[in-house]
Amino acid sequence: MRAIFCVFLTALISAEARAEVVKSSENGFIIEHNIIVSQSTTRVFPEMTGRLGAWWNPDHSFSGNSTALRVDAECFCERWGANLVHHLDTTIWIENEKVVMQGGLGPLKELGLSGSMTWSLAPSGDAGTVVAWKYHVFGYSEADLPGLAVAVDGVLKEQINRLAGHLGNTGDNATSK
């Protein structure tokens, strides 16, 4: 757990401002990431949700093992041995289209923060898919939320780019907003 918090703090200190932080204040922030991949929604959805361990960076997990992570119609959870981290509750699950989850990823829980994360897929018009992630984080915390927004943005940008790479989309095949 301390390692994860240190990673967030390191990213906070070293990350540069990005356009993906749509809005930020002392009460919360909104982050958006969009990529276009060459696969269909029916190929992307099961990889994005059912194979999280194949593309999520294990450095951004409590267990240090991304295969302990899962996203399903119940939750975004991490289980290893007798341990469990219930990151987000799944509130909407529409196969091949959208997942909406509520809660705080990683150390955000311990900072008194929560949020709504939406992962949505839409056809891109060229047999590909637009993958859009949006995370609204809110709450009252001692943390510097505008600064923390930059760190969270960096973590989410890394993950969505890793998903694109996992799907075989690199360079011109995946575009990120």
The domain tally of the chain equals: 1
Q: Which domain holds residue 161?
A: 2-176
Tens of pLDDT along the chain (177 residues)?
Answer: 444 433 443 333 332 223 389 999 999 999 999 999 999 999 999 999 999 999 999 999 999 999 999 999 999 999 999 999 999 999 999 999 999 999 999 889 899 999 999 999 999 988 899 999 999 999 999 999 999 999 999 999 999 999 999 999 864 444 455
Average pLDDT, the chain: 87
- Predicted confidence (pLDDT) per residue in 152-164, tens digit: 999 999 999 999 9
For residue 123, what are the β-bridge partners? 129
* CATH code where residue 42 lies: 3.30.530.20
What whole-number distance in Å separates Cα of residue 137 and Cα of residue 166?
Answer: 27
pTM: 0.84
